[in-house]
Chains A and B, each alone.
Chain A
């Protein structure tokens, strides 16, 4: 489903990703952990073209998104993304945030888009907040709307970029619960997170990144229970 082949990403002289490769199977949940500055977020952002890779190829459903001729907007319809800082459209209500993509990009009718949006709001437990603006919602509520917004496009894969890092502790659970449900339904997911409990419980595979490379990967039980690399051990000893 996702095939990343030897990508390198440089910002000027700074190399953020070095020769990273990854294969993700349909319905797989891959969790990416690592210290800040290790390139996890940049890696995720490369997968929907928000960052352009310097070298290497990325294929999503056999479409090479790193090819200069590829229409990125088309690819992004199928790749949902959830941001650390939610990035809900501030001038639109929760409902409008969810319907604007289906209406303007997928060309659904307003009625169809709203039916879909209400169903998604119900799924994330916010049906009563349909007409609230983002600044009237708590962080956890905003992030759940943001997840619904991404799901409204019927993506084949969802990318989560530290979705709970900007939340108050008591709101983390409600967002993780929504993500767990998604994983159970078989959504293919890549999740950058510091929530080790989530990684252990939901992840099919955990990647540990440091200094722009994938240092170690494995099943959560293996990577957390019996890390092989010194760097991984050091990192886990600090956070667990």
Chain B
């Protein structure tokens, strides 16, 4: 790259940083509800009631089976034909649709991560909890989930990283996140090599900082608590 390269990147930087901000905001806004959705459907899939298990299974099958881009298009373009989303939410429907699509998709994977974590805990722990008079909810809350959660951290981190990368698909509905900002800048400057390099590096920075935080958390929880 010549000296003009730095100039171009420098020039594009304010836009790209705006993009990073949105990438981070959308990621966080999706990861939190996706984790809650995942926990709920994991518990449904582990229920002793057949119809609740069915609901959980259908959810996972459907949203693990659909390409995320199709879900994004479906919610952003198809659903408004049935429900007056734009009248209800105006411009913010873009954000809402994006978060719903990401949540449904990531939630399906998180469901399986949480379910596997819960199943990995020895059944004797549940029996011991029952034997001191705990009900199902208390056994889950105080005995099973705290132990399962530690085992879930590595696969959950994978999924959170996946979520950050998946926000790039939101460029298809013109969410001005990092990928979209890169596209916009290139459409007028034609500096594809420089900008995509800068975009790639910025994704890595975001994801590697998350990895660093998670490694730290994992280490701390392993020392203090078992």
Contact = CB atoms under 8 A, between A and B. Distances in A.
A87 B128 contact: yes
Contacts of A150: 131-132
Interface stretch (B19-27, B97-105, B139-147, B196-204): B139-147
B132 A105 contact: yes
A85 B123 CA distance: 11
Contacts, number: 71
A73 B127 contact: no
Contacts of B127: 50, 83, 87
B89 interface: no
Contact of A153 (B129, B133, B142): B133
Contact of B130 (A50, A90, A152, A153): A50
Given A90-B226, A105-B138, A135-B226, A77 B133 contact: yes
Contacts of A83: 124, 127-128, 131
B135 interface: yes
Interface in A16-75: 48-50, 72-74
Nearest to B138: A104
B133 A105 contact: yes
Given A85-B124, A135-B226, A104 B130 contact: no
Interface in B209-223: none
A87 B124 contact: yes
Interface in B123-174: 124-125, 127-135, 138, 142-143, 146-147, 150
B142 A48 contact: no
A50 B131 contact: yes
Contacts of A205: none
DSSP majority for the B interface?
helix
B131 A100 contact: no
B212 to A, nearest CB: 25
Interface of A: 48-50, 72-74, 76-77, 79-81, 83, 85, 87-91, 100-101, 104-106, 133, 135, 146, 149-150, 152-153
B61 interface: no
Contacts of A74: 133
14 contacts: A48-B130, A49-B130, A73-B133, A73-B135, A83-B127, A87-B128, A89-B125, A89-B147, A91-B147, A91-B150, A101-B134, A105-B138, A149-B132, A150-B132
Interface in B85-133: 122, 124-125, 127-133
B81 interface: no
Nearest to B129: A89
B127 to A, nearest CB: 6
A83 B125 CA distance: 11
Q: Is the interface on chain B under 10, 10 to 19, 20 to 34, or 35 or more residues?
A: 20 to 34
A80 B146 CA distance: 24
B226 A104 contact: no
A48 to B, nearest CB: 6
Given A89-B125, A100-B142, A133-B226, A73 B130 contact: yes
A220 to B, nearest CB: 27
Contacts of A48: 130-131
Contacts of B142: 100, 104
A91 B225 contact: yes
A73 B127 CA distance: 12
A100 B144 CA distance: 13
Given A90-B147, A100-B142, A76 B124 contact: no
A81 B131 contact: yes
B134 A80 contact: no
Given A91-B226, A105-B138, A76 B128 contact: no
Given A73-B134, A89-B129, 8 more contacts: A72-B130, A79-B131, A81-B128, A91-B146, A91-B226, A152-B132, A153-B132, A153-B133
Contacts of B226: 90-91, 133, 135
A97 B138 CA distance: 14
Contacts of A152: 132
A101 B125 contact: no
Contacts of B225: 91
Instruction: Report, nearest first, the 10 A-B pairs whose CB atoms are least far apart.
Output: A77-B133, A101-B132, A87-B128, A87-B124, A81-B131, A105-B133, A76-B133, A73-B135, A91-B147, A73-B133
